[in-house]
Amino acid sequence: MMRRSASKKAGQPNSTNSINFSPSDLFRTASSRASSKEMERIDNLFHSYANTSLGMIDPEGIETLCSDMEVDHTDVRILMLAWKMKAEKQGYFTLEEWRRGMKALRADTVSKLRKALPELEKEIQSDYKVINMDQWMGFFRFCNEISFPDFSNYNPDLAWPLILDNFVEWMQSKQT
């Protein structure tokens, strides 16, 4: 009787024809599997909130998501989430938008999404600077007093903010 380890099963490669995988090949394979599992979880999460007849998450689904995250649906971070997803229609997320945002936030569960919100808020605050009331009033005055697009009544010797001087100079250079 032949020992089990010595027997050869049909279709198995023998040791001389086997393919050797490098550690980086094995890592890529494992990484690809993990990425595919992550995408599956992201898609499943989408479908748990999506309106099946629309094929997208609608305002009701967003409200349920907010409830599950224990975040008020009027929280400004929900708008930030829509911005991160690059949502084209307010109050709606398509599967593509959902995937884009969730991958960018590295979130594939409600818990991970909730934990990502403070970081998202920091990201947006660092990307966009807020203007103060004096700057806003200067811009408002500029819009009301200066003829656009020719700027014929613009006087650079007046006390306009530097950013507006630069803007007019740039616009005038484009017009010549």
> Which string of DSSP letters, residue by residue, matches 72-134?
-TT-HHHHHHHHHHT-SSTT-B-HHHHHHHHHHHT--SHHHHHHHHHHHHHHHHHHSPPP-HH
pLDDT of residue 94: 97
pTM, to two decimals: 0.56
State which amino acid sits at residue 147: S
- The residue ranges of every structural domain in the chain are 28-127, 133-175
97, burial (CB in 10 Å: exposed 0-12, middle 13-18, buried 19+): buried
* Cβ neighbours, 10 Å, residue 47: 13
pLDDT digits (tens, 9 = 90+) for 135-147: 778 888 888 888 8
Q: Domain 28-127 class?
A: mainly alpha
State which amino acid sits at residue 125: Q
Residues of the chain with pLDDT under 50: 1-18
pLDDT digits (tens, 9 = 90+) for 4-32: 444 444 444 444 444 565 666 665 666 67
> Quick check: helix, strand or coil at residue 156?
coil
pLDDT of residue 16: 46
45, burial (CB in 10 Å: exposed 0-12, middle 13-18, buried 19+): buried
- Which residues fall within 8 angstroms of residue 114, CB to CB, at 6 or more apart? 69, 70, 71
Single out the residue of 110, 115, 81 nearest to residue 98, CA to CA.
81
